[in-house]
Amino acid sequence: MQANGSDKRLKIAGSFLLGVFACCTERAILVPPETAPGAMRTLERYLGIEPQKMLVAGSSVVGSLVCGNSSGFVLTPHASDEDLARLSSFGRVARLPGKISAAGNVILANDTAAMVHPGLSDRACESISRTLGVDLRRGTIGGLKTVGMTSVVTNRGVLAHPRMTDAELAELEDLFGLPVDVGTVNFGSPLVGSGVLANCRGYVAGDETTGPELGRIEDALGFMG
């Protein structure tokens, strides 16, 4: 994986907020139907998977409404039966129980663990843990409850919000058992989960991301050297 490749920067649905509009796991990439052909090719090139176009609950903000890993997907409670059926080929699928609906914003997960919004109910946490097959803890990152937007985690590393506290850092390291680093995306945004898509094969970032930011992303997620 070459460092600081500018062709890893792109927009999805006209936006550099890649994590809002798309969801990436080791097995699948979900993008809205309006994703441009060039972006589709870039995603497949660097993440190693052919993207799947779909709406979730009739919406293009797929990344905000879905969280997944190699075991399956947790979707917004508003997801349709068709949405669940479409994703069932990738493993277990479930709607997130309760009033908090933006599953992608409130769950940070890889294939072994998940950190979730501290306001999620026991029932919601049990559903996430069962569906994704992960150990789970409630927590905040950078003082924010929307942990899915604050950070990016793969099975190799964690890139987190730069205002994360030492206690939050220790919690992430203990939960995921991976190296944790901090960074920004899209020319200084601390919400790295909103601007980066990554798996163990590679990553892409929003097209406002600077060269130094790309370097930090590559280092944190284990693509340097």
Domains of the chain (ranges; CATH) run: 8-220 (3.75.10.10)
Distance, in Å, from the CA atom of 97 to the CA atom of 151, rounded to the nearest integer, reads: 23
Would you call 166 helix, strand, or coil by DSSP?
Answer: helix
Q: What is the pTM of this model?
A: 0.96
Structure tokens at 183: 């960074």
Percentage helix, strand, coil for the chain under 3-state DSSP, each rounded to 5: 35, 25, 40
Among 180, 67, 182, smallest CA distance to 116 is for 67
List the chain pLDDT tens, one digit each, 225 residues: 344 456 899 999 999 999 999 999 999 999 999 999 999 999 999 999 999 999 999 999 999 999 999 999 999 999 999 999 999 999 999 999 999 999 999 999 999 999 999 999 999 999 999 999 999 999 999 999 999 999 999 999 999 999 999 999 999 999 999 999 999 999 999 999 999 999 999 999 999 999 999 999 999 999 985
Among 142, 162, 147, 149, smallest CA distance to 206 is for 149
Both ends of the chain: CA-CA distance in Å? Answer: 8
